[in-house]
């Protein structure tokens, strides 16, 4: 297996937008959803591509790198916040205030996007992918930048860092995306836009003026009873030391991918609905347990059982990340750029969870998601404005919980830079902890799902021998 020391940085530069308009030079005020992410590490996702066929030009890889840089510069014209930086505004008179904004100014104070060209001369795509029955190899972690940074570090570090690593037979494009800037939806909207511009540039050169899904950069804020919106939020702090929390994951954490075919997902959904006597012919789909709720219930039960040290009376929680864009009334655009997510939870004792079937657990998750309405979203925001807080990872995480992150709905394999469909999606080590599960669409499509599970080593071993879990997997 290749060592993480095998990756060598060849060049590093800062990418700025190709051009900006005067009206684009502005402060982007941050919402409660954005500000609450200040302690969270970057979103780290990357795509593995087969290396494009060689040309007669001996510097063809340099041509690819230059093409990626030029297309990224054009993409930043649309996604200007990514080229900016965080700024804290403090004053004591006439009254104390502490606020944080995202700003872009076309001067030397703006970091732009960090872009690194790297080479892993002895690493193949097979080294990155690894067999399905072993853990994610250490080489993957070295394909990402800003690995230990938290979002608040965007005051001094770039908000987006890109590493393009040349392998023996492939190219890995990895982005480290500050979580204050946006959520997973925003991340993949950006990644797809970059791929679209890169692909079009092969035909049109730099004359690419538009993209299919331009981002909505105007942040959404809750208005008061008089319809007034104040985008400047005064935080109850005088120094960032009062809220900074740098979480370090356990050393013995193992990560592994598990694949579920459309057929296995369908069986799980049918089983969950059958156990709950859910009428799948009901006039409204809200009464039916979804495929992802059934899959999450399976993971919750099996991971809890794998944690053999848990007492029967111990409380265990399963958290699902919900996109608020469609929950609000009126809904926000799916192209809204920023954070717009919240977690919904189901909590029971270990004994309750394991003494019932998958349908019982799936129904708890269904009810949690179904109850996340416009009024609940607004109630959370109203409470946050009265008592602002920033997530403290060390307080949120627990050895009894399961958190389902990312989404199989994200268009990951639609990112075509002009070389065809990616071979795989991989993530860095940021935001990994015991019980965290990242969900991705399966490369074959059709409703297949890949789960990247992070667990303590002994728990992963137990999960790998759990009959209920392994029987649900695709061969």
Say if residue 154 is in the same domain as residue 277.
no
Please report, rounded to a whole number, the percentage of residues in the chain having pLDDT higher than 90.
77
Say if residue 292 is in the same domain as residue 426.
yes
- Give the tens place of pLDDT for each residue, 36-61: 999 999 999 999 999 987 655 555 88
Choose the final residue of a domain: 207, 242, 277. 242
Q: Are 29 and 86 in contact (CB under 8 A)?
A: no
Q: Which of 77, 46, 324 is nearest to 183 (CA)?
A: 324
CA distance 297 to 290: 11
Task: Tell whether the model's pLDDT for residue 206 goes beyond 60.
Answer: yes
Say if residue 187 is in the same domain as residue 271.
no
Min mean pLDDT across 43-57, 58-72, 154-168, 324-338 is at 43-57
Asked if residue 387 belongs to a domain, the reply is yes
pLDDT of residue 106: 58
Task: Tell whether the model's pLDDT for residue 4 goes beyond 50.
Answer: no
Choose the final residue of a domain: 242, 271, 288. 242
CA distance 235 to 390: 10
Say if residue 203 is in the same domain as residue 350.
no
Backbone angles phi, psi at 331, to 5 degrees: -70, 155
Say if residue 231 is in the same domain as residue 258.
no
Say if residue 162 is in the same domain as residue 289.
no
Confidence of residue 105 (pLDDT cuts 50, 70, 90): confident
Q: How many residues does the chain have?
A: 475
CA distance 180 to 158: 12
**What's the chain's Rg over C-alpha atoms?**
23
Domains identified in the chain, total number: 2
User: Residue 283, Cβ neighbours under 10 Å: how many?
Assistant: 7
Say if residue 319 is in the same domain as residue 370.
yes
Asked if residue 14 belongs to a domain, the reply is yes
Q: Which of 400, 373, 359 is nearest to 274 (CA)?
A: 359
- Give the tens place of pLDDT for each residue, 212-268: 999 999 999 998 666 678 889 999 999 999 999 988 776 678 999 999 999 999 999
Choose the final residue of a domain: 242, 265, 283. 242
Min mean pLDDT across 109-118, 127-136, 241-250, 315-324 is at 127-136
Say if residue 193 is in the same domain as residue 261.
no
pLDDT of residue 286: 45
Assess whether the previous peptide bond of 170 is cis (omega < 30° from 0): no
Asked if residue 247 belongs to a domain, the reply is no
Say if residue 233 is in the same domain as residue 288.
no
Task: Tell whether the model's pLDDT for residue 285 goes beyond 50.
Answer: no
Given the residues 245, 335, 416, 466, the one annotated as active site: 416
Asked if residue 248 belongs to a domain, the reply is no
Say if residue 319 is in the same domain as residue 221.
no
Asked if residue 61 belongs to a domain, the reply is yes
What domain range is 79 assigned to? 4-242
Confidence of residue 324 (pLDDT cuts 50, 70, 90): very high
Establish whether 230 is a catalytic residue. no
Alpha-carbon distance values, 311 to 49, 305, 351, 357, 364 (Å): 45, 11, 8, 19, 21
- Give the tens place of pLDDT for each residue, 351-398: 999 999 999 999 999 999 999 999 999 999 999 999 999 998 877 777
Backbone angles phi, psi at 190, to 5 degrees: -65, -50
Q: Which of 164, 114, 147 is nearest to 42 (CA)?
A: 147
Alpha-carbon distance values, 353 to 304, 316, 383, 436, 464 (Å): 8, 8, 31, 18, 19
Say if residue 263 is in the same domain as residue 225.
no
pLDDT of residue 229: 80
pLDDT of residue 207: 80
Domain CATH number, residue 41: 3.30.559.10
3-state SS assignment for residue 455: strand
């Amino acid at each position: 297996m290749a060592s993480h020391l095998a990756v060598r940085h060849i060049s590093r530069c800062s990418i700025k937008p190709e051009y900006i308009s005067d009206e684009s030079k502005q402060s982007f005020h941050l919402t409660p959803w954005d500000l609450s992410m200040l302690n969270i590490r970057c979103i780290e996702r990357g795509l593995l591509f087969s290396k494009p066929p060689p040309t007669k030009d001996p510097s063809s890889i340099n041509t690819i790198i230059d093409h990626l840089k030029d297309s990224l510069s054009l993409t930043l014209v649309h996604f200007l916040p990514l080229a900016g930086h965080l700024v804290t505004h403090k004053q004591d008179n006439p009254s104390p205030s502490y606020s944080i904004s995202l700003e872009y100014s076309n001067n030397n104070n703006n970091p732009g996007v960090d872009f690194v060209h790297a080479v892993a001369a002895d690493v193949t795509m097979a080294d990155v992918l690894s067999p399905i029955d072993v853990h994610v190899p250490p080489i993957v972690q070295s394909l990402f930048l800003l690995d230990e940074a938290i979002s608040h570090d965007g005051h001094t570090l770039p908000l987006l860092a890109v590493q393009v690593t040349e392998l023996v037979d492939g190219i890995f494009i990895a982005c480290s995306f500050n979580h204050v800037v946006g959520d997973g939806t925003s991340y993949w909207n950006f990644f797809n836009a970059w791929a679209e511009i890169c692909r079009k540039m092969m035909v049109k050169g730099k004359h690419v003026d538009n993209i299919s899904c331009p981002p909505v950069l105007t942040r959404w804020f809750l208005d008061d009873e008089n319809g007034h919106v104040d985008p400047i939020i005064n935080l109850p702090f005088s120094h960032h030391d009062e809220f900074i929390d740098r979480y370090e994951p356990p050393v013995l954490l193992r990560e592994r991918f598990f694949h579920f075919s459309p057929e296995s997902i369908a069986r799980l959904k049918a089983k969950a609905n059958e156990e709950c006597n859910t009428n799948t012919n009901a006039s409204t789909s809200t009464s039916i347990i979804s495929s992802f709720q059934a899959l999450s219930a399976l993971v919750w039960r099996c991971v809890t059982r794998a944690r053999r040290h848990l007492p029967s009376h111990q409380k265990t929680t399963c958290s699902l990340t919900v996109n608020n864009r469609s929950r609000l009334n009126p809904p926000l655009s799916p192209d809204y750029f920023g954070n717009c997510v919240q977690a919904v939870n189901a909590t029971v004792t270990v004994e309750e969870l394991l003494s019932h079937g998958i349908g019982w657990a799936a129904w708890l998750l269904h009810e949690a998601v179904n109850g996340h309405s416009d009024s609940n979203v607004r109630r959370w925001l109203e409470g946050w404005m009265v008592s602002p807080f920033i997530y403290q990872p060390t307080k949120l995480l627990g050895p009894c919980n399961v958190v389902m992150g990312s989404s199989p709905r994200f268009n990951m394999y639609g990112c075509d830079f002009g070389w065809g469909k990616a071979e795989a999606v991989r993530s860095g080590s940021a935001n990994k902890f015991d019980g965290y599960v990242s969900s991705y669409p399966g490369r074959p499509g059709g409703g297949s799902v890949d789960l990247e599970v992070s667990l303590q080593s002994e728990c992963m071993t137990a999960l790998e021998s759990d009959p209920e879990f392994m029987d649900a997997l695709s061969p």
